[in-house]
Structure 1
Amino acid sequence: MLRSLADRLFITLQYLIPQRWLSERMYQLARIEWRPLKTLIIRQFARHYQIDMQLAQQPDLDAYPHFNAFFTRAIRPEVRPLDPDPAAILCPVDGAISQIGTITEDQIIQAKGRDYSVTSLLALAPGELHPFAGGRFATIYLSPRDYHRIHMPLDGRLDQMIHVPGQLFSVNAVTAAGVPNLFARNERLICRFETAAGPIALILVGAIFVGGIETVWAGEVTPPHAGGEPQRWDYEVDEQCIRLERGAELGRFNLGSTVIMLLPPGRAEWDAGLSVGERVQLGQRLGICLAPSESGG
């Protein structure tokens, strides 16, 4: 009962606090280069979350110019080897599976007893079609201690990017269970690719204190955490088009958040045995492509 009351208070507080203002202040704090302060923040964070710096390309905490550089640190490629099967769908991040399964009648499971629609997640107009009905989805939560760069699950050609302004609720399990349509109401960046499994989407969901979402092709997309309508970029299919190899970096977060991957029906399957709460790592196999796409990247 006490835990339930604490959870309700935690969720209520998130409705009341100035989410954007706090996230923008955190963004500024994470980039302070004054040595005494940035060193204190980095060392306390690394100690509290027991960060294994032996995985990092730069293991020296003092070498990072500010907290954000430390938080978005690169890791050594050999510590996250890619599954060698070219048909394998790679895990795009280090994290934990929040939910995984089949998209049923446009619905994705957010938490037990709570669903939301793919249409709202992708910021589509009512009646606008998408290729993911009956397909597969995976929601992966990145905790503060995780590696925070996002990588490609397959070779892909970038078709579209949409930035959707929104709220900045926490994306942890308590909030996912208590806030309706959480991932479809939070600020997010939708990246759609053509791949060997057909069209796929990777949705980078912002959260409280997540002061930056960026991609390798567009740079920093947010902040500012502004309101207004979604912004959409469509990419030409020509010799200049943007192609990324499987395992290549796609983008990154500042502080923890969530990545949602959508796959079309009949083109891919998750491996048996993947379960909610399971820890996963960048490069490991999550599933397999069932057939090549004629227009694949």
Structure 2
Amino acid sequence: MKKKLYIYIQNLLPKLLITKFFSYISKKKLSIITTFFIFLFIKIYKINMKETKYPNIFYYKTFNKFFIRKLNMNNRPIDNNKHHIIQNTDGIINQLGIIKKNKLFQFKGCEYSLYDLLGQNNNINKIFTNGYFINIYLSPKNYHRIHMSYNGFLLKMIYIPGKLFPVNNIFSENLCNLFILNERVIFLFKTSFGFMVKILIGAQIVGNIYNSWSGLVISSRRNKIKTWNWPYIKNFYKKDSIFLKKGEEMGYFNLGSTVITLFPPKTIKFNPVLKKGLNIKIGELLAYII
């Protein structure tokens, strides 16, 4: 009952206005106030600052700079086996499994449409039907930068407008179609084993989504799908092509959210130790190429 009431109240809230407000505040230089809130946040969420590139909290002049802090990547060794695909972020496994025909499992009694998740792009939908998916939730304590799971050329980026519901456990396990209701950015890559998609899901108080090659994906939220394309010819560079290596940073959230990764059928086999609720880290084994 409490969960249903929480979802109902959230549905009434002006989520975009709340998001803009927190985004604005998080980027303000508030001197000792900023430092105090960072200190408090670290204590509440038990964040290990020894893992960060800049562990001194006085280094961060805004809360947002702290939230998108970089890690000392020596603490995240990358599995460089060419037959291995790696985890792309720190977080908690929300769900993983097979895309049964055109459906992804969210929770018991709820499956959501791959076609709708991909913004009703039929060409991409066909590639991943009957494929595989993994959904990773980035909690407030997590590192909020996303890295590449495998070497790949970027072919397409798609911004899909939507709601800004929270993506915590209460919502992901109770609000059906959460990930197709929310704003998101889709990245389509071409790799040596086939295509791969990364989907960054927006959420309440997620200020913005950035990528590593052009910065802010969308500066003003409009009710319109926007698509960017890049050239690619048979594994060779072409002018303006974008190639990212395994483990390389591909983007970040300006306040946390969820990342969904898709693989085509008959391309990978998940690491058998992976399961819902497991804490994972960048560089660890995600899947084997088959």
Separation (CA, whole Å) in 2 of partners of 1:100 and 1:220: 29
Residue of 2, 20, 24 corresponding to 1:6: 2
Using the TM superposition, give the Cα deviation of residue 218 of structure 1 relative to its aligned residue in structure 2, in angstroms.
2.1
What residue is the counterpart of 2:17 in the other structure?
21
Structure 1 residue 30 displacement after superposition: 0.7
Rounded Cα–Cα distance in structure 2 between residues aligned with 1:55 and 1:126? 42
In the TM superposition, what is the alpha-carbon distance from 1:129 to its structure 2 partner?
4.3
Report the alpha carbon displacement of residue 14 of structure 1 after superposing the two structures with TM. Answer: 1.2
Structure 1 residue identity aligned to 2:277: G
Aligned residue pairs total: 285
107-116 or 140-149: bigger deviation: 107-116
C-alpha contact 1:211 1:222 (8 A) present in aligned 2: no
**Which residue does the alignment assign to 1:71?**
67
- Residue 196 of structure 1: CA displacement? 2.0
Residue 161 of structure 1 corresponds to which residue in structure 2? 157
Q: Aligned in 2, Cα 1:172/1:223: closer, same or farther, shift over 3 Å?
A: farther
Structural mapping, 1:109-148, within 5 Å = 109-125=105-121, 129-148=125-144
Counterparts of residues 37-48 of structure 1 (less than 5 Å): 37-48=33-44
Judge which range, 235-244 or 6-15, deviates more.
235-244
Q: What is the alpha-carbon root mean square deviation over aligned residues?
A: 1.4
Structure-1 separation of matches of 2:229 and 2:18: 32
Task: Find out whether 1:90 has 2:86 as its counterpart.
Answer: yes
Other-structure match for 2:182: 186
1:251 aligned onto 2:242: no
2:241 counterpart of 1:241: yes
- 1:268 aligned partner, one-letter code: I
Amino acid corresponding to residue 33 of structure 1 in structure 2: K
Closer, same or farther in 2 for the Cα pair 1:207/1:269, shift >3 Å? same
Partner of 1:295: none
Tell me the amino acid that sits aligned with residue 272 of structure 1.
P
Gaps of 5+ in 2: 233-237
Distance 1:125 1:44, change over 3 A: same
Structure 1 residue 9, shift from structure 2 partner? 1.1
Moved more, 241-250 or 6-15: 6-15
Deviations 1:74-128 (A, max 9, x none): 1111100011312211000000110000010110011222110111111025787
Task: Decide whether the 8 Å contact of 2:156 with 2:227 is kept in 1.
Answer: yes
SS in 2 for 1:178: coil
SS at the partner of 1:130? Answer: helix
Cross-structure match for 2:235: none
* TM superposition shift of 1:172: 1.2
Question: What is the alpha-carbon distance in structure 1 between the residues aligned to residue 125 and residue 263 of structure 2?
Answer: 15
Contact 1:157 1:193 in 2 (8 A): yes
Q: Distance in 1 between matches of 2:125 and 2:105?
A: 20
Report how far residue 273 of structure 1 moved.
2.7
Contact 1:213 1:223 in 2 (8 A): no
Give the Å deviation of 1:42.
1.1
| Contact 2:118 2:124 (C-alpha < 8 Å) held by counterparts | no
Instruction: Give yes or no for the alignment of 1:198 onto 2:178.
Output: no
SS at match of 2:127: coil
1:230 to 225, 228, 235: 225
State the partner residue of 2:208: 212
Greater mean alpha carbon deviation, residues 171-180 or residues 53-62: 171-180
So what's the TM-score if we normalise by structure 2? 0.95
1:228–1:105 Cα change, 3 Å: same
* Deviation, structure 1 residue 285: 0.4
Greater shift in the superposed pair: 170-179 or 72-81: 170-179
Q: Could you tell me which amino acid in structure 1 is paired with residue 210 of structure 2?
A: E
Q: Is the 8 A contact 1:192 1:199 kept in 2?
A: yes
- The question of whether the paired residues in 1 share the 8 Å contact of 2:114 and 2:125 is answered with no
* Equivalent-residue separation in structure 1 for 2:197 and 2:123 (angstroms): 19
Matched to 1:203, the amino acid is I
Contact 2:118 2:125 in 1 (8 A): no
Q: Which SS does the other structure have where 1:131 is aligned?
A: helix
Match of 1:293 in 2: none
